[in-house]
A = this chain, B = another copy of it.
Amino acid sequence: MRGRMSAAKSYAKPVEVGEPMVGGTVGEIVASRNAKFAVGDIVLGYGGWRDYALSGGVGVRKLDPAAAPVTAALGVLGMPGMTAYAGLLEIGRPKPGETVAVAAASGAVGSVVGQIAKIRGCRAVGIAGGPDKCRYVVEELGFDACVDHRPPDFAHQLEAACPAGIDVYFENVGGAVQRAVWPLLYDFARIPVCGLIAQYSATTPTPGPDMFSMLRKRLTLRGFIVTDFAAKEADFLRDAGDWARSGRLKYREDVVEGLENAPAAFLGLLAGKNFGKLLVKVA
């Protein structure tokens, strides 16, 4: 979404000034001339930031409220969950016993990354903003450790939490967190680059990572977006559904009431003020 608020060339089309902001939505069908959707159906779609949206039915998927809370389709069982699943397993390729570090660890993507790392037999180390989020990541989500990136001794704390170095760093944030992670990367570490939230609004370029480490440690750095792995969606829905039902995959939602509060909530997200998957309840 932040990328769409810029005219810079990207995989996502910019949103024009005056257009509704795009975004994933869970909604209720209130009128239908499409035989596939009946009034009252709950659907996942891409309706954007508004009260009502018209759709021809393409890209809209009916949800079963009996199978899982429908809002999970926007988080752990939807695009953020799939992003975590594909980036970690297809690019990160964690092996049992390895250390997986993830920033924004209490967020919609990061929380799933660490929980899948644990399911795969890894040491999961989260990085999050503030003691409440860190406590949640360890006590509720079951990560082995979580380090608060705000205190001045963050880099030392992170090193202490990763005594065998970092084999997979799932990159969500960039900036100062990336700089602290870099010296801890172990030989042949893999870095799926999913997001750079600390850099999106920067007005001066942030220096990229040290190339000598790339060479000396034979690192693999790879950018991706979730749609690159569309072929893995069925695997994801099966695995994540199983894990969620059996309680191995937990999640938390941060629900803001009222569409009029969406812009402030979005600015808060960019500043790390949300706690869990940020959702806006429209009505």
- Residue count of chain A within 8 Å CB distance of chain B: 34
Judge whether A184 is part of the interface by a CB distance below 8 angstroms: no
Judge whether A32 is part of the interface by a CB distance below 8 angstroms: no
Judge whether A208 is part of the interface by a CB distance below 8 angstroms: yes
Known contacts A211-B174, A211-B206: A221-B222 contact under CB 8 Å: yes
The one of B194, B207, B228 that contacts A207, using a Cβ cutoff of 8 Å: B207
Which of A13-21, A122-130, A138-146, A212-220 contacts its partner? A212-220
Judge whether A153 is part of the interface by a CB distance below 8 angstroms: no
Known contacts A221-B221, A221-B222: A11-B216 contact under CB 8 Å: yes
Copies in the complex: 2
Chain B proximity mask over A1-29: 1 for CB below 8 Å, otherwise 0 = 00100000111000000000000000000
Q: Please give, as numbers and ranges, the residues of chain B lying within 8 Å of A195 by CB-CB distance.
A: 215
The answer to whether B224 touches A212 (Cβ under 8 A) is: no
Taking CB as reference atom, which chain B residue is nearest A174?
Answer: B211
Tell me the complex Cα distance, A178–B210, Å.
Answer: 13
Q: Please give, as numbers and ranges, the residues of chain B lying within 8 Å of A221 by CB-CB distance.
A: 214, 219-222
Q: How close is A35's CB to chain B, nearest CB, in angstroms?
A: 38
Q: Please give, as numbers and ranges, the residues of chain B lying within 8 Å of A211 by CB-CB distance.
A: 174, 178, 193, 196, 199, 206, 208-209
The one of B9, B193, B218, B224 that contacts A223, using a Cβ cutoff of 8 Å: B218
Tell me the complex Cα distance, A214–B91, Å.
Answer: 14
Can you add 17 more A-B contacts, CB < 8 Å, to A9-B216, A193-B215, A220-B223?
A3-B216, A174-B211, A193-B211, A194-B215, A196-B212, A205-B207, A205-B210, A206-B211, A207-B208, A209-B209, A214-B221, A214-B222, A215-B223, A215-B224, A217-B223, A218-B228, A220-B221
15 pairs, A vs B, C-beta closer than 8 Å: A10-B216, A11-B216, A193-B211, A195-B215, A205-B210, A206-B211, A207-B208, A208-B208, A208-B211, A209-B211, A215-B225, A218-B225, A219-B222, A220-B222, A221-B221
